[in-house]
Amino acid sequence: MANPPASVMVMGPPPIPNPSLAVKPQEPWRENLSMHLICKDCKEDPPNLVEDFSAGDTVCGSCGLVLGDRIVDTRSEWRTFTNDDQNNDDPSRVGDGANPLLNGAQLQTTIAFSGGGSAKARDLSRAQNRATHDKAAKTLLAAYKEIQAWCDGMRIPKNGSDTAKHLFKITQDEGAFRGKSQETVIAGCIFIACRQCKVPRTFREVFSITKVSKPEIGRIFKQLEKFFGDRNEKLKASIIESGGERFYEVELVSRVRANAFAAQESPLKTAQDSQMWSQPLRKTYKCTVMSQDIASKTETTGVLAGRSPISTAAACIFMASYLAGEGRTAKDISQVAGVSDGTIRNAYKIMYQRKQELVKPDWIADGRADFKRLPPL
């Protein structure tokens, strides 16, 4: 009997792959916002759902059916560690943001102690203070407190006080002015910060609050000018070495120097003094705007060229008050501006002779100002 023939293998082309069966890359999960959860018993739309985060359940508020469990609490992780929070907001577990005016990571924990606390709490607070004692940080905090108090006394805005704190911190970090008293350095930093933030103050105003003499403020001002100038040159040299990584810091110091040490006799300075001194004199808005415009005209026309911005601003307020029918005597203005009433009258005599150049014709036309109200020479 013959053996069956062996199987024959025929070679052919591979099967054509089916694109529909190809494995697609897995996309990240995204919530389908077109779908929403409703109660299968009540079938209310919109649903009345209540999220019980303490139990981790989603419950129907109408029938009480549990629709989901183990939900994730996405709210802020705030909690209180005391039985009585004294009706205050709960403290955040993560703490406050870092203060850029202080050194270090500021991650330490402070153990508070009040007068009615126990002896153990007092001992813990003392031990914690000894363990985390930082003399430099305490010195900065004391200086910042003094700067804030003086800035509040001169009605300096927050950006001015923060700038003064930043300038003082730079001097402390560099170890400059070790022989100078802290009050003198703070007075110089406040004077510079006011000019940088466009709220300039005079030496007399700084002296009235800080009790640092005017000559001493002038000397520390010149020393700070040289200090920031030398530091700026060093930072520029470090830019070349670091490839521009410290450019932002040099820009800050350059801006401080440019704004702080600009010429004092400028239209902006005189106009700002006019606006600042109009508030204690109880001037109306019309009189304040008029004095600012006259101050700008005196600088652009050169009517009072060579005189200090303080005396110029005082004379502009004196003239504008009578033009608007709210006349104030030179003695009243001198008490606010810090210049003698004779200086105000002498500057006013020069302005009176060229009053046509200083006063807008529109003010005379609509009756807001009248030359007849001006006191004679």
User: What is the DSSP code (8-state) at residue 6?
Assistant: P
CA distance 53 to 72: 8
- Ranking 25-29, 78-82, 163-167, 222-226 by mean pLDDT, the lowest is 78-82
Give mean pLDDT, residues 134-152.
85
Report how far residue 17's alpha carbon sits from residue 23's, in angstroms, rounded to the nearest whole number.
12
CA 232 to CA 226: how far, in whole Å?
Answer: 10
Pair 33, 18: CB distance under 8 Å: no
Contact (CB, 8 A) for 351 and 322: no
Report yes or no: 351 and 314 within 8 Å, Cβ to Cβ: no
- pLDDT in the model for residue 249: 44
Closest listed residue to residue 184, CA positions, set 223, 136, 216, 146: 216
Task: DSSP letter for 49, please.
Answer: E
110: how many CB neighbours lie within 10 A of its CB?
9
Count the residues in the chain: 377
What average pLDDT does the segment 211-234 reach? 86
What digits encode the pLDDT tens for the residues 102-112?
A: 776 666 667 77
Higher pLDDT pick, 170 / 95: 170
The pLDDT assigned to 256 comes to 42
In 3D space, the residue among 151, 147, 138 whose CA is nearest the CA of residue 184 turns out to be: 147
Of the spans 70-74, 163-167, 195-199, 237-241, which averages the highest pLDDT? Answer: 163-167
**Across 25-34, 234-243, 366-375, least confident range:** 234-243
Say how far apart CA 293 and CA 308 lie, in whole Å: 17
Among 105-109, 295-299, 330-334, whose mean pLDDT is lowest?
A: 105-109
Report the pLDDT averaged over residues 148-154. Answer: 89
Nearest to 311 by CA among 204, 170, 212, 218: 204
Write out the two tokens for 122: 């007092």
pLDDT band of residue 277 (cuts 50, 70, 90) is low
Residue 219, pLDDT above cutoff 80: yes
The pLDDT score that the predictor gives to residue 261 is 41
How large a percentage of the chain has pLDDT more than 90?
4
**pLDDT value of position 187:** 92
Average per-residue pLDDT for the chain: 76
Q: With a cut of 50, say whether residue 265 has pLDDT above it.
A: no
User: What are the tens digits of pLDDT across the range 364-373?
Assistant: 888 888 888 8
pLDDT at position 4, please? Answer: 55
What is the pLDDT at residue 258? 44
> What pLDDT is stored for residue 80 in this prediction?
54
Helix (H) or strand (E) holding 187: helix 182-196
Q: What is the pLDDT of residue 275?
A: 53
pLDDT digits (tens, 9 = 90+) for 46-96: 888 888 877 788 888 888 888 888 777 776 665 555 544 455 555 544 555
Residue 207 pLDDT = 87
Q: Which residue has the higher pLDDT, 159 or 34?
A: 159
Q: Which residues, listed in sequence order, are joined to residue 57 by a DSSP beta bridge?
A: 52, 69
344's CB contacts (< 8 A; 6+ apart) are: 311, 314, 315, 318, 330, 333, 334, 337
Instruction: State how far Cα 206 lies from the chain centre.
Output: 21
Looking at residue 266, its amino acid is S
- Specify the higher pLDDT residue, 257 or 222: 222
Does residue 312 carry a pLDDT above 80?
yes
> Which residue is associated with the tokens 């930082």?
134
pTM for the full predicted model: 0.51
Residue closest to 260 by CA, chosen among 227, 235, 299: 227
- Residue range 328-344: mean pLDDT, rounded: 82
Average pLDDT over residues 344-350: 88
